[in-house]
Structure 1
Amino acid sequence: MENWLANRSIVIIGGTTGLGLSAARAFVKSGANVVVVGRNPENCLVAELHLGSSSRAKQGDATHPQTALDAIQLCIREFGSFDGLYHVAGGSGEKFGDGPLHTLSLEGWNKTLDLNLTSLMLSNQAAIRAFMGMNRGGTILNMSSVLGISPVALHFSDHAYATAKSAVIGFSKSIAASYASKNIRVNVLTPGIIEGAENSTDLSAKFVSDKQPLDGGRYGLPTDLDGAAVYFMSEYSRFTTGQIFSVDGGWSISDAQH
């Protein structure tokens, strides 16, 4: 995939750790310039140091309306263009009160949707406006989760999170349909359970092995998604929009439950 992204400039919301940082490394290796956005200032500094001169890092909260807009403007100012948005930011809302419906708090519902869905709407809106303002096409890649389409009640009953990740798919398909005629394409990745993720710590090795049986049965790694992310950011996906691409180790076609 070397040079697949040559001369392309990409903004990654949630790009200073985990899946986003892994993708940023892959994008830079493939020839892209990247602006990565994260909440933690220290992570921003570390990310920029590791990614090198083809990167800029910006501290910001993805749920704030100005964050994505500022990152896109920084991308244009520093690298001369804005070609793609990869929205990775999100996470568990358990600490806010997300959980099974009979215990789910209104605060947990609202904060989890803000964290995972409102943030994504804001970044996508900023990207669409930027592409239209420049009178050009572009690409958006959004992060959902296998839990939004293939739940396992025994281990995962955070219903606001599942709702948000399912809504990412509906939202992405809807805007893909609306803006395809402007050559703006919108696609979605649905990863399986990733090693070290907030919602993965209480799972047994046997469950993970049975539910994600590929490659010996294991947790997913951030690097497992990098190839798909590069593809959707590249011109190789120029005729692809509104698609949901699962990188889940076989989760969605496995019948393992316990």
Structure 2
Amino acid sequence: MTEKWAIVTGASGGIGLDIARILAARSYHLVLVARSEDKLKDAQEELSAGGSKVKVVALDLAQVGAAEKLVHETDRWGIVPEVLINNAGIGAWGPFLDSTFDEVKGMVDLNVQALAQLSHLYGRKMRERRLGYMLQVASTAAFQPLPSYAVYAATKSFVLSFSRALNYEGREFGISSTALCPGPTSTSFFDRAHHKLNKQFQALMMDSSEVARQGVEAMFAREESHVAGFLNRVGASLLPRVMPAKFLVRGAALFMK
């Protein structure tokens, strides 16, 4: 109980793995969660070399009962996390009516249900200790409807709203919840979403290690939310205020194409 533990979901690569590296450098022990056991073991080998204890759980958090299974494992190990990083998430590019409902359900189950359930289960443990930090990875897509990513953007709007409310409620118990809102980031997200990017879109990408750094710093500062990157902050805060909604949606649709 005297050791500092952090749980990181979606930890096999991208922003999640970069966050795990930063936390290991801050002397946290880690529980890494993702679907790929091979990638998790590679991460375990890398991070444990620096002196951190690293446990891995190969798990698809979108599946029924997955969140409870993760909590059962950490309980069995005697781990009560000080930090919870809800980074696991998926997106799919294309018109909503062209997608299968299994794809839609999978996004909602992972991006919304699993995130809320893990926040609930581990938040209660943090409340008992009166100490805890949560980082909920949302997106700049949370700030406006996004044609071609209709369901993904809607799930990230949930994450942003939910995290802000949870952050307020948790203050009296020493718990904070920070919503991290990155824009386009150099990870495997767009490959998995089957979204082929043009050069202009690629030029706007942030490095995942920089997004991770900003997110971790915002979390420990107990910020309510943090948009990574200056241009992303301008777009997220300014455009929805000055641009009529119908033009905002049209602009977003063109950008995503």
- What TM-score, normalized by structure 1, do the two folds share? 0.78
The answer to whether the 8 A contact 2:166-2:177 is kept is yes
Partner of 1:203: 197
Output one character per residue of 1:198-224: Cα deviation in whole Å (capped at 9) or x when no partner: 326522112343xx3xxxxxx222101
**Which SS does the other structure have where 1:189 is aligned?**
strand
| Among 151, 154, 167, the residue aligned to 1:160 | 151
On the 8 A contact 2:215/2:226 being kept in 1, the answer is: no
How far apart are the structure 2 equivalents of 1:71 and 1:18? 24
Question: 1 CA distance for matches of 2:74 and 2:161?
Answer: 24
Alpha-carbon offset, residue 65 of structure 1: 2.7
C-alpha distance in structure 2 between counterparts of 1:207 and 1:20, whole Å? 22
Native 8 Å contact 1:108 1:160 kept in 2: no
- TM-score w.r.t. length of structure 2: 0.78
How far residue 74 of structure 1 moved from its aligned partner, in angstroms, is: 5.9
Contact kept, 8 Å, 1:139 with 1:233, in 2: the verdict is yes
Paired residue type of 1:244: S
Q: Which residue of the partner structure matches residue 248 of structure 2?
A: none
Aligned to 1:70: 72
Q: Residues 104, 19 of structure 1: CA spacing in aligned structure 2 closer, same or farther, 3 A cutoff?
A: same
Structure 1 residue aligned with 2:207: 221
| Equivalent-residue separation in structure 2 for 1:244 and 1:75 (angstroms) | 32
- Separation (CA, whole Å) in 1 of partners of 2:12 and 2:96: 32
The answer as to whether partners of 2:146 and 2:153 remain within 8 angstroms in 1 is no
Structure 1 residues 227, 252: closer, same or farther in 2, change over 3 A?
closer
**Equivalent residue letter for 2:71:** L
2:25 paired residue among 29, 32, 53: 29
Aligned to 1:88: 87
Separation (CA, whole Å) in 1 of partners of 2:77 and 2:177: 19
- Stretches of structure 1 lacking an aligned partner (at least 5 in a row): 1-5, 213-218
Gaps of 5+ in 2: 240-250
Percent identical pairs in the alignment equals: 19
Aligned residues: 229
1:163 positional shift: 0.7
- Deviation per CA, 1:1-28, whole angstroms, max 9, x where unpaired? xxxxx96321111112211111111111
